[in-house]
Chain A
Amino acid sequence: MNQTRALVTTTHRDIRRDLLLIAEMVTPGSRLLDVGCGDGSLLEYLASEKQVDGRGIEIRQSGVNACVARGLSVIQGDADSDLPDYPDAAFDYVVLSLTLQATRNPRKVLHEMLRIGQRAIVSFPNFAYWRVRLQLLLDGRMPMTAALDDPWYETQNIHLCTIKDFDQLCARDGIVVEQRIAVDGQGKRLGGAPANWFGAQAVYLLHRR
């Protein structure tokens, strides 16, 4: 019998740009839950670079298997249904990277994250990005960008929003935006009002009021 272990050599430069931004926000040595953790890149990066005690939830079997085979603590599950199982304030951070727009009930997921974590870190593609606006305006078709790369009939994204929308939801629901980083298509950071026009993605660090 020759079972091969999924030997993953982490080359940190391969890590997704938004994940690096998320990692910046995390205090070393903290407890973190990564919801929709994929193949565990962020968890592994945080464990090795910041000694973070991480857990993960991932919906795809292949992703979970890859994570567990890397020695990470990950369960197969769904952000929409599995967060209520966790006790209040069980983690310092709960991360949801590029997944909020794919949840059935993003607002409920957000509140669950802030219940089980002291802080939540959320990243999402900005639907007000100028390329998105332009495609819809000029072409009259559903936009496709690097951050929104599936055609409308195949996309998992069912609750898209803009940076402005998200700010409004936070204000309305008593969620404090501690930090917001928007980046354009090249990864350049943007602040202030231009963020909603030129930001392709945004990363938020949140806590409850």
Chain B
Amino acid sequence: MSAALPPLHSLDPIGPGHRVTLGETLPLKLDCGLDLGPYQIAYTTYGKLNADRSNAVLVCHALTGDQHVANVNPITGKPGWWTTMIGPGKVIDTDRFFVICSNVLGGCLGSSGPKDSDPSTGKPYGLRFPVITIRDMVNAQAMLLDHLGIQQLFCAIGGSMGGMQVLQWAASYPERVFAAIPIACAAKHSAQNIAFHEVGRQAIYADPQWHKGDYFEHNTIPRAGLAVARMAAHITYLSEAALHRKFGRNLQNRERITYGFETEFQVESYLLHQGSSFVERFDANSYLYITRAMDYFDLAGQAGGVLANVFQGTKTRFCVVSFTSDWLFPTTENKEIVRALNAAAANVSFVEIETDKGHDAFLLDEPVMFATLQGFIDGCAEQRGLNGRSEKGGRA
């Protein structure tokens, strides 16, 4: 089924939504020391901005996510990645909130990244694109909000790398974030997670089709390397319990094992599918840049090594969420954020959701997560003086 999809670079990456050119007069100062500008940010919005512009919700996507959070994805044809959470009458109610989701800087779905043309050469940047960080992504989003005329977000929310962006938002622009919901994330990327990312990057480097990042010029794509990177990463998003429940040791299209190296087990077939469908929608160089951005993330490192200093004096209300079976961003790392927020006397809620679905649980139907986030968002909306929830869906 993945073979039927056209290759990434031949598609209009924007689909429904918008793209804006930013940093024309004032370039973005990147953490690596370079200036970037002008640059482009692609984004989608849902719902209406209210008169006093107080109902904006910024949704931050994870490593391989994109701006198509609640509409049909123009590349895959599948529903947006967080339609469980966002829509009319849902936890993030698009009848009530103005929802913004942008493709991160360095991404490959319309925002400036290594796939774009370098104006100085006319060829794709490849590895000549400047190395970016989570803070750079957030600074670019802040410029997008300036462009949209939004001074303060009602809420910034995201899981995994999206959660890192939420934390960075609260750290860099505390007065611009009324409420922050970092889910299944950490204030720094752990050594284990950097190690997994390095495995993925090495798989891409090792692919002869990669050509040191200049694969478009050679009319190739490092599919095999990127697929392996995705397969390895995908395992970390699940849990043994979830994999076992889904596949166990069941065989794929056969009655007994055949003592060979063709796909024997269902779990192998599943991973191969994950890998091959991913290369149709994602750019290998973007994968390198974004994994690197996550690896560099260390919020305490930005404040002399003390995480609590990052949040000193913050008025933002936080709700931190973790999952019991998440071994990529385990509860201990989420609680480190909570501990720092307590030490800064911040207003914080924290829930550990009991589930066996692993890191990916934040994308799935988790009724307990929905109920707690609904309570948190409603409480914050009341504090912010936003009108009551719509009566859609028969819920009070």
Binding site for B on A (CB under 8 A): 1-7, 55, 61, 64-65, 67-77, 82, 85-87, 90
Contacts and interface: CB of A to CB of B under 8 A. Distances in A.
7 contacts: A1-B90, A6-B375, A64-B350, A65-B368, A69-B372, A71-B375, A86-B343
B379 A71 contact: yes
Contact of B342 (A3, A5, A71, A85): A85
A74 B365 CA distance: 23
B345 A65 contact: no
Nearest to B350: A75
Contact of A71 (B90, B345, B353, B376): B376
B8 interface: no
A67 to B, nearest CB: 8
A5 B349 contact: no
A76 B317 CA distance: 16
B203 to A, nearest CB: 37
Taking residues whose C-beta sits less than 8 angstroms from the other chain, chain B's interface range is 35 or more
Interface in B362-396: 365, 367-368, 370-372, 374-376, 378-380, 382, 393-396
Q: Nearest 6 pairs between A and B by C-beta?
A: A71-B379, A69-B375, A75-B350, A3-B370, A85-B342, A68-B372
A4 B351 contact: no
B34 to A, nearest CB: 38
Contact of A86 (B317, B342, B352, B371): B342
Given A73-B347, A75-B348, A68 B342 contact: no
Contacts of A85: 338-339, 342-343
B59 interface: no
Contacts of B396: 5, 7
A61 B351 contact: yes
Given A71-B382, A85-B339, A76 B351 contact: yes
B95 interface: no
Residue of A6, A67, A68, A70 with highest tally of chain B CB at under 10 A? A68
Interface string B330-356: 000001001100111101111111100
B349 A82 contact: no
B238 to A, nearest CB: 22
Interface in B167-209: none
Contacts of A82: 339, 342
B343 A87 contact: yes
A200 B345 CA distance: 35
Contacts of A68: 319, 349, 351, 372, 375-376
Contacts, number: 92
B84 interface: yes
Given A65-B351, A76-B351, A82-B342, A5 B317 contact: no
Contacts of B338: 75, 77, 85
B110 to A, nearest CB: 28
Nearest to A31: B345
A2 B87 CA distance: 12
Contact of A5 (B345, B351, B395): B395
B7 to A, nearest CB: 34
A5 B374 contact: yes
Given A68-B376, A71-B378, A86-B342, A61 B354 contact: yes
A75 to B, nearest CB: 4
A75 B376 CA distance: 12
Contacts of A87: 343-345
A61 to B, nearest CB: 6
B372 A4 contact: no
Given A65-B368, A76-B351, A87-B344, 18 more contacts: A3-B91, A4-B371, A5-B375, A5-B378, A6-B371, A64-B349, A70-B379, A71-B379, A72-B379, A73-B349, A75-B320, A75-B342, A75-B349, A77-B335, A77-B338, A82-B342, A85-B343, A90-B345
Contacts of B371: 3-6, 65, 69
A162 to B, nearest CB: 33
Contacts of B372: 64-65, 68-69
Contact of B317 (A6, A7, A69, A73): A73
A5 B368 CA distance: 9
Nearest to B352: A76
B46 to A, nearest CB: 16
A1 to B, nearest CB: 6
Contacts of B394: 2
B375 A74 contact: no
Contact of A4 (B319, B354, B395): B395
Contacts of B342: 75, 82, 85-86
Nearest to B396: A7
B155 to A, nearest CB: 14
Residue of A3, A67, A77 with highest tally of chain B CB at under 10 A? A3
